[in-house]
Amino acid sequence: MRKAVPLFLAILLYHSKFSLAKPPSPPLPVLPVPSSSQLKWQRREIIMFFHFGVNTFTNSEWGTGHESPTIFNPTALNTTQWISAASALGVSLVILTAKHHDGFCLWPSRYTHHSVALSPWHGGKGDVVSNFVNAAHAGGIDVGLYLSPWDRHEKSYGLDVPYNEYYLGQLYELLTNYGSISEIWFDGAKGANATNMTYYFKDWFGMTKQLQGSINIFSDAGPDLRWVGDEKGAAGETCWSQINRTSLRIGDASLERYLNTGDPRGTDWVPPECDVSIRPGWFWHETEKPKPLNQLIDIYYKSVGRNCVLLLNVPPNTTGLVSEIDVKRLRQFRLAIDKIFKEDIARGSIVKASSERGGKNGSFAASNVVDGDEETYWAPEEEKKGSYWIELCGLNQTAKFNVVRIQEMISMGQRIRRHEVYVDGKAVVRNGTTVGHKRLHRLEQPMRAKSVRIRIPESRGPPLLSVVGLHFDPFKPWVSTNTL
Ligand SMILES: *[C@@H]1O[C@H](CO)[C@@H](O)[C@H](O)[C@H]1NC(C)=O
Ligand SMILES: *[C@@H]1O[C@H](CO)[C@@H](O)[C@H](O)[C@H]1NC(C)=O
Ligand SMILES: *[C@@H]1O[C@H](CO)[C@@H](O)[C@H](O)[C@H]1NC(C)=O
Ligand SMILES: *[C@@H]1O[C@H](CO)[C@@H](O)[C@H](O)[C@H]1NC(C)=O
Ligand SMILES: *[C@@H]1O[C@H](CO)[C@@H](O)[C@H](O)[C@H]1NC(C)=O
Ligand SMILES: *[C@@H]1O[C@H](CO)[C@@H](O)[C@H](O)[C@H]1NC(C)=O
Ligand SMILES: *[C@@H]1O[C@H](CO)[C@@H](O)[C@H](O)[C@H]1NC(C)=O
Ligand SMILES: *[C@@H]1O[C@H](CO)[C@@H](O)[C@H](O)[C@H]1NC(C)=O
């Protein structure tokens, strides 16, 4: 009995000491890091664009600015139907072309007559922007707007001060009359009679941030989101979220490659958005059809699977509705993504790593990559260059996989410069460069394995992984036949 007391005390002491032990603090971020609005945007993964306006009725892609507003006459416009199309794909943000290059405004701007106010639609009392925003918000979906700087109708276009004032006036209307706007879209397109005119981007950006504090501004050069450099929906195989804004110029085609890949040494966090249309054109044309499902899946791998957000355009038709064939394709696309990623054979597997900050049972354990929570992550100790690795062991060997999903904890900065995927300790099945928010590797052959190892030979500081997933994709890869 007398002997039992000190033992009991020793156990008590051990446990109290254990519970008082401080967990290791998180590692330092590697700058630059995203803002909260940029992080929210990145996690949306797919967003949607609606190109709609006079071009819809003239069967063209670029209007002249000389269209009569009376041609704008959708017989049964229903933006709630557009939003249910967006919901079919499961997107959380939709963007509307409030004004395209033709200068026709989908809202009754007080600064021009070239708008819905002079159209027969709703007897000139309608406002497509307002309908759109209300329908989206009613469906729990955020909105964005595109206001084309190039304006082929406006008389002051080409004259620096008058046109920039006109543009700011319209921008003010859009940013103050329609509630919360989550993204604004600017491009640098210019008319031939305006090559000497300057778009006052700094003024536009300044007013935008003043009126909508949590908005993301998209343009070729950010400040928040950048163009990916093509309209095919494909990012570079190397794709950094960071870039040097000082090297960017809006509307400069020579920068497309730099935009496509970003810059590991970039000082600014300006992640790329991949804009592509579900159809050949951006506006609706009777003779066009949506892209086949396997092409959309391919676009998903090349955009979302390369650290980008996919901005998919779906043009409403002259009735003012998204055609049923497009809605059906959107629904198929969502079902396909869910089918591929619902099952994850890595989930719950045993995970080993080159090291774990705070040890095996700490908050940065390797097992965080298979816990189904994107907010937890594996952090290694600071190691020698090239020695970082993580390995999923004891995998279900009857389950096949042909997709490897790797996700970095980008809130702490994008770090990985090179990575390699090994199966069963031997062959490298895939080499890659950047990872970022999400990197998807589609393997040529389905595999079964006991273990999968990710080796990280090069990174900016210790790599922080939030997820490693293994999936089976039953869809046939898209092969372009457009090589004539
Ligand atoms: C608009 O579309 C929605 C969703 O498809 C539908 O429920 C609603 O009835 C439509 N409204 C009208 C006026 O047709
Ligand atoms: C440029 O062209 C547009 C029409 O295309 C016109 O409205 C505008 O006045 C022109 N600007 C100048 C400065 O000539
Ligand atoms: C642009 O400016 C140059 C020189 O300042 C002038 O020669 C040219 O005519 C201008 N172009 C236009 C389209 O106004
Ligand atoms: C971007 O800026 C960083 C820091 O100034 C610099 O080291 C890097 O070389 C720049 N990248 C390019 C492509 O100029
Ligand atoms: C537009 O799409 C709706 C929904 O599929 C369809 O009912 C309507 O006929 C289409 N309009 C045209 C002009 O194709
Ligand atoms: C980690 O936790 C497990 C289960 O709770 C325990 O058996 C093991 O001793 C712990 N290891 C360390 C190093 O604390
Ligand atoms: C292993 O995978 C096979 C094929 O997907 C599945 O039928 C089986 O239930 C899995 N076993 C375990 C233990 O998860
Ligand atoms: C990966 O790179 C190594 C050289 O670093 C090379 O030997 C190997 O063949 C590559 N594997 C694949 C699948 O590309």
- Asked if residue 447 is part of any domain, the answer here is yes
Torsion, Cα of 342, 402, 473, 379 (10° steps): 30
CA nearest ligand 5 atom 2, residue: 323
Return the closest-CA partner of residue 437 out of 285, 225, 191, 271: 271
383, 428: one domain: yes
pTM: 0.93
* Cα distance between residue 81 and residue 85, in whole Å: 6
Residues (pLDDT < 50) of the chain are 1-5, 12-13, 17, 483-484
Cα–Cα distances in Å, from 23 out to 347, 354, 376, 475? 25, 20, 15, 45
- Looking at the structure, tell me whether residues 337 and 364 fall in a common domain: no
Identify the CA nearest to 276 among candidates 317, 316, 240, 228.
228
Instruction: Tell me which residue has its CA closest to atom 3 in ligand 1.
Output: 81
Closest-CA residue, ligand 6 atom 7, reads: 361
Provide the domain count of the chain: 2
Residue 18 maps to a domain = no
User: Does one domain contain both 328 and 378?
Assistant: no
Position in ligand 1 atom list of the atom nearest CA 83:
4
- Predicted local distance difference test score (pLDDT) of residue 149: 97
Q: Whose CA is nearest to atom 2 of ligand 7?
A: 399
What is the pLDDT, as a whole number, of residue 484? Answer: 36
The verdict on the CB of residue 80 being under 6 Å from ligand 1 is yes
Domain's final residue, options 310, 341, 372: 341
Atom of ligand 2 nearest to the CA of 193: 1
Note the residue count of the chain: 484
Beta bridge partners of 269: 242
Give residue 354's domain range. 350-471
Output the domain CATH number for residue 415: 2.60.120.260
- The per-residue pLDDT for 217 is 98
For residues 413 and 316, membership in a common domain is answered with: no
Same domain, 397 and 332: no
User: For residue 85, how many C-alpha atoms fall within 13 Å in the half-sphere facing its CB?
Assistant: 27
Specify the ligand 3 atom closest to the Cα of 195.
13
User: Is 24 contained in some domain?
Assistant: no
For 78-117, how does the pLDDT look when each residue is reduced to its tens digit (9 = 90+)? 999 999 999 999 999 999 999 999 999 999 999 999 999 9
- For residues 245 and 268, the answer to whether their CB atoms sit within 8 Å is yes
Domain boundary at 341, 375, 410, which?
Answer: 341
**C-beta 130 within 6 A of ligand 1:** no
Last residue within a domain, chosen from 295, 318, 341:
341
Q: Give the Cα separation of 325 and 320 in Å (integer).
A: 15
CB 187 within 8 A of CB 251: yes
Strands across the sheet containing 388-393 = 350-353, 388-393, 452-459, 416-423, 428-432
278 in a structural domain: yes
Predicted local confidence at residue 20, as pLDDT: 56
129 with 271, same domain: the answer is yes
User: Which among 422, 426, 428 is the best mutation to test ligand 8's pocket, defined by most ligand atoms within 8 Å of the CB?
Assistant: 428
Q: Is the CB of 348 under 6 A from ligand 7?
A: no
State residue 89 phi and psi, 5-degree precision: -90, -10
- The bound ligand whose nearest atom lies closest to the alpha carbon of 18 is 6
The predicted pLDDT at position 451 comes to: 97
Q: Which atom of ligand 8 is nearest to the CA of 430?
A: 13
Is residue 203 a contact partner of residue 398, using CB atoms and an 8 Å limit? no
- φ/ψ of 6, rounded to 5, equals -60, -35
Quick one: which H or E segment has residue 170?
Answer: helix 160-176
The CB of 195 under 6 Å from ligand 3? The reply is yes
> For residue 14, what pLDDT is reported?
52
Match 């002051």 to its residue by tokens: 156
- Closest residue by Cα to atom 1, ligand 3, is 196
Q: Token pair of 58, please?
A: 């003239």
Ligand 5 pocket member 56 (CB < 6 A): no
Atom of ligand 3 nearest to the CA of 192: 13
- Tell me, yes or no, whether 294 and 409 share the same domain: no
Q: Which of 409, 482, 399, 416 is nearest to 455 (CA)?
A: 416
Residue 433 falls inside a structural domain? yes
118 and 142 fall within a common domain: yes
* Run of H or E including 295: helix 293-303
Residue 396 sits in the same domain as residue 441? yes
pLDDT recorded at residue 483: 44
CA of 33 to the centre of ligand 4 (A): 16
In a domain, 467, yes or no: yes
Q: Give CA 34 to chain center in angstroms.
A: 13
Q: Which domain CATH number covers 233?
A: 3.20.20.80
Please check whether residues 54 and 113 belong to one and the same domain: yes
Residue 330 near residue 314, CB atoms below 8 Å: yes
Same domain, 218 and 76: yes
User: Is residue 483 a part of any domain in this protein?
Assistant: no
Q: Which ligand is nearest to the CA of 358?
A: 6
The verdict on residue 449 lying in a domain is yes
Q: Do both 334 and 370 map to the same domain?
A: no
